[in-house]
Structure 1
Amino acid sequence: MFQNLDFEWEKGEHWAVLSHSGADLTAFLDTLRGRTMVTEGVIERPFANDYQKIKTAAGEVNSFRDLIAVVSQKYTFRNKSNLQNFYYQQRFNSMESEETATVEEFLLDIPIKNTGYWTLQKVISLLHLNQLKDKSLIKLSNGETRRLAIAQALLQNPKLLLMDQPLTGLDVQTRAEFGDVLQQVVNSGTHIVMGTNPEEIPDCITDIAVLGKKKVLKILSAKEKDQVNLDFEEAKGFEDDLLKGLLLPYPLCGADSILRLENVNVRYGEKQILHEINWKVKAGERWSLKGSNGAGKSTLLSLILGENPQAYANEIYLFDRRRGTGESIWDIKKKIGFVAPELSRFFPGNQTCLKVVLSGLFDTMGLFRKVNPDQERLALDWLKLFGLEDTKSKLMKQVSLENQRFILLARAMIKKPDLLVLDEASQGMDMRQRRIFKETVNRICELTPVTLIYVSHYVEDIPEVVDREFGL
């Protein structure tokens, strides 16, 4: 990953680290926290010297890592038995989701090695978690999960806070408020390094490091952030002829209306999630679904995807047929391709990337049946389209987050669905990959009659083919 990497972090400095590659940013943060193999050179961590001397003299096991907290892009939920055995639809089953801790229970259960400025009450107040305290972890939206991850990190009262693209998944308002949150973190005495994009450098940042050619290529003052130029290489995208071969001919949808919601209401206990929602999506239309974190987008999508049992208490039509008139969840799923960042968490650990793509033919979270040679060749061609042939035998969890998104897109499209639902689907990608992803979706829609529902908090990520908008 790195060769002749030099980096010095002085007291009072707060760094933004930029790169072409999201994988490079993650590897850089992993190196700071001692999670990469250093084969040559020296890493010194004087910030931990006094702490380690005190702990060692007291006969206590210690590490410099005790003083570091990390906000990663990876989240794993466990139930109250400490087992990660959830299935995707369980988020919307009110009885089974009770097996998961609430936000408050999760925060109270965090082991704290260092006491300091950040208490539970201060963290809850800073990140506006009070209204989420009784919410099950498995029901949190993407942005809510990100806020919880930051809260978990601050409760460690770290000297160093490392964040891997922390603004990902946050709505426009929350991103705007994020600078104030970080300023309070800095004021508390914590030092920050964050992997981010040039457009998302908060005011509290003092210095900028640009990664490239396996080292720190450039150091800038934050005052010079307008001069940052990542000098992007031309994005290596998909082969258009291969994409055409994978998609054409594409079947026409047999329904006139893909989706119709009439005065839809969803409530959990005392909390009203959706109120009197009306929305109609016709075959071939391309929609953007917008709303702030916690506005109910995930719940609305769960109704469309056939996963929320509250669909039966509402007037919802999918593919010209009212829910609850004898159709199964599999009748619905075979017509829908779906991509979301959290989806990869629910695949069994033994699933290779090839099996994940093939599972799209059967709408299962993993491959559990024998496939024929034609199906396997088809899945391999989808991997080849994105330059990911070498991942076919790798486990999904071993592949970088950005490549997981392309694999999930291949899984969604392999069955040529009538409806494609992309929920923050390019989250975690670097800028170049986001561009490729957007161009791919544009081209898919140009070549086929597929209906599209696209969710993103980033206007620049929404494909040009999208010409309709629905807001919550």
Structure 2
Amino acid sequence: MTTNLPIRFDDLTVNFDDRFQLDHINWQIEPQQHWVITGANGAGKSALAAVLAGAGDTVSGKLEGVPARVGLVSFEAQAELIEAERKKDDADIMDVISEGTPVHEILFKDCADPDLAKELAEKFNLTQLLDRSFRKLSTGESRKVMLICALASKPDLLVLDEPFDGLDADSLAMLQAHLQTLIKTVPMVMVLNRFDEFPEFITHIAYVDHGQLQLQVSRDDTTAFEELYKLLHIKTTDLTVPAADPDTAIPALNPDDPLVRLRNLTIQYDNKKIIDNLNWTIEPNQHWQLSGPNGSGKTGLLSIITGDHPQCYVNDIFVFGFKRGSGESIWQIKQFIGYVSTALQWEYKGTTGLRNVILSGFHDSNGLYTRCTDRQKAIANEWLELLGMSDRGDEIFGKLSYGDQRLLLIARAMVKHPPLLILDEPCLGLDDMNRQMVLALIEKICASTGISVIYVNHHPEDKIKGIGNYISLV
């Protein structure tokens, strides 16, 4: 390898804005080693990886040997870039709306290896999007841009926090193949929640818990590796979904009507058709799995159903008893829907307490602005107990780990038992234990009456018992 390894953590304690602290980390990354950092949600996995990229304030101890050029990919870095683009709107004056930074500028400005960036853009199918504003990309497409920037920076160390999440199957295979070509020259440290995603070249696993590096396991140590696998595959049994609030009045729907009926749906941008003449009907108590590569229109299709897409009114759309464009309000539509997505997670107010995040699901609000009943508060407490957060109800949502935030938003979506529950990559960013809990919860919801599920997912192995209908976009 070309770096000055080993990298040494010597009794290192690092503080992250008083939100989290890594305590007394002792760790050494040797030449020819590639590490995965794993652990439960909120354990400190992402924080430990971020230290290698210069994040956090050292309280005590030493960190030595980190090379100058570190290629970083993480949800936090991705969210920061998206937020920076959004702030450009706030700076607009005289009603001139900024188009935002084009993709090609983000990829090639100050790029150390433009030829590689161009090659990866082609392999990731981003070439046709180079002139598009970064803010207009889908979650998966923006993730690909972050990956290309890191890989084309000629890094001496790659730090990849959940690099495979949000990628379609072809992009995932391409990325794994490219990383395989780097193993002799570039050391890698990955944060991964899923054991089935560990690349073959990974040599060691670091297990983090409560801000401490508890275990360091060589992959060649079969016994230790299997024990760690069991630790992270704990499944919660006998889960009970908290009941709905009988006093929360979601209007009754006509049982003879479909929940959703789309006829010859077309979505297009800049004269390019993303979806062309799609017909889809979702009946009550019917469950669907929606799949397709990045940029195939999954998010656009969901926003048509939720009423957030501007092309709702130029299509033949029937949802929850309303023909779109007949004078209905968007809130009349949204009252029938529970929704979870990465975009919602980025937009949700970070100062809201955990209990209030769940309670806001009764009112479809981003934050809680309405007085809740004692019964609703009791239901929220039942969800907190189910998620293992019964003593954390007053903590701040923005201080949670990415995975814990996702769990709270899933509870928020489920709390009112909506006729339609839309789960857009619900397991994104979750460790194995919480992932299994979420999948079990979704199975129970699918088995219950009165709720239909649309489950969007890139991982074919994450199938849900009870979902027997499939739609794939190309």
TM-score normalised over the length of structure 1: 0.82
Equivalent residue in structure 2 for 1:190, among 166, 170, 186: 186
Task: State how far apart, in whole Å, the 2-side matches of 1:163 and 1:78 are.
Answer: 20
Q: Is 1:69–1:154's contact at 8 Å kept on the other side of the alignment?
A: yes
Distance 1:259 1:121, change over 3 A: same
Deviation at 1:3, TM superposition (A): 6.3
What is the CA deviation profile of residues 270-293 of structure 1, one whole-angstrom value per residue up to 9, with x for unaligned ones? Answer: 321101101111011011112122
More displaced stretch, 12-21 vs 284-293: 12-21
2:173 counterpart residue number: 176
Task: State how far apart, in whole Å, the 2-side matches of 1:441 and 1:247 are.
Answer: 19
RMSD across aligned positions (CA): 3.3
- What amino acid is the match of 1:200? E
1:32-47 → structure 2 map (5 Å cutoff): 32-36=52-56, 41-45=61-65, 47=66
1:219 counterpart residue number: 217
Q: How many residue pairs end up in the alignment?
A: 439
Does residue 156 (structure 1) correspond to residue 153 (structure 2)? The answer is yes
Q: Is 2:352–2:397's contact at 8 Å kept on the other side of the alignment?
A: yes
Task: State how far apart, in whole Å, the 2-side matches of 1:342 and 1:124 are.
Answer: 23
Consecutive unaligned residues of structure 1, counting only runs of 5 or more, are 49-63, 87-94
Deviation at 1:327, TM superposition (A): 0.8
- What amino acid is the match of 1:16? V
- What amino acid is the match of 1:432? M
- What amino acid is the match of 1:82? K
2:87 counterpart residue number: 82
Distance 1:116 1:258, change over 3 A: closer
Task: State how far apart, in whole Å, the 1-side matches of 2:389 and 2:446 are.
Answer: 22
Deviation at 1:331, TM superposition (A): 0.5
1:28-67 → structure 2 map (5 Å cutoff): 28-36=48-56, 41-45=61-65, 47-48=66-67, 64=68, 67=69
Q: Is 2:264–2:316's contact at 8 Å kept on the other side of the alignment?
A: yes
TM-score normalised over the length of structure 2: 0.82
Distance 1:103 1:176, change over 3 A: same
- What amino acid is the match of 1:153? A
**SS, match of residue 87 in structure 2:** coil
What is the CA deviation profile of residues 208-260 of structure 1, one whole-angstrom value per residue up to 9, with x for unaligned ones? Answer: 224266436343357979965512363346752xx344477997643420111
Equivalent residue in structure 2 for 1:124, among 121, 125, 131: 121
What is the CA deviation profile of residues 59-107 of structure 1, one whole-angstrom value per residue up to 9, with x for unaligned ones? Answer: xxxxx4xx22211123321365735879xxxxxxxx9996433322433
Deviation at 1:144, TM superposition (A): 1.3
1:278 counterpart residue number: 279
Distance 1:283 1:329, change over 3 A: same
1:433 counterpart residue number: 434
1:27 counterpart residue number: 47
Task: State how far apart, in whole Å, the 1-side matches of 2:188 and 2:115 are.
Answer: 15
- What amino acid is the match of 1:220? S
Consecutive unaligned residues of structure 2, counting only runs of 5 or more, are 1-20
Q: Is 1:22–1:429's contact at 8 Å kept on the other side of the alignment?
A: no
Deviation at 1:449, TM superposition (A): 1.7
1:55 counterpart residue number: none
Distance 1:217 1:143, change over 3 A: same
Which structure shows the higher strand fraction? 2
2:417 counterpart residue number: 416
More displaced stretch, 131-140 vs 408-417: 131-140
**SS, match of residue 7 in structure 1:** strand
Equivalent residue in structure 2 for 1:136, among 112, 127, 133: 133
Distance 1:98 1:417, change over 3 A: farther
**SS, match of residue 266 in structure 1:** strand
Deviation at 1:35, TM superposition (A): 3.3
Deviation at 1:39, TM superposition (A): 5.7
1:207 counterpart residue number: 203
Task: State how far apart, in whole Å, the 1-side matches of 2:230 and 2:300 are.
Answer: 40
1:463 counterpart residue number: 464
**SS, match of residue 455 in structure 2:** strand
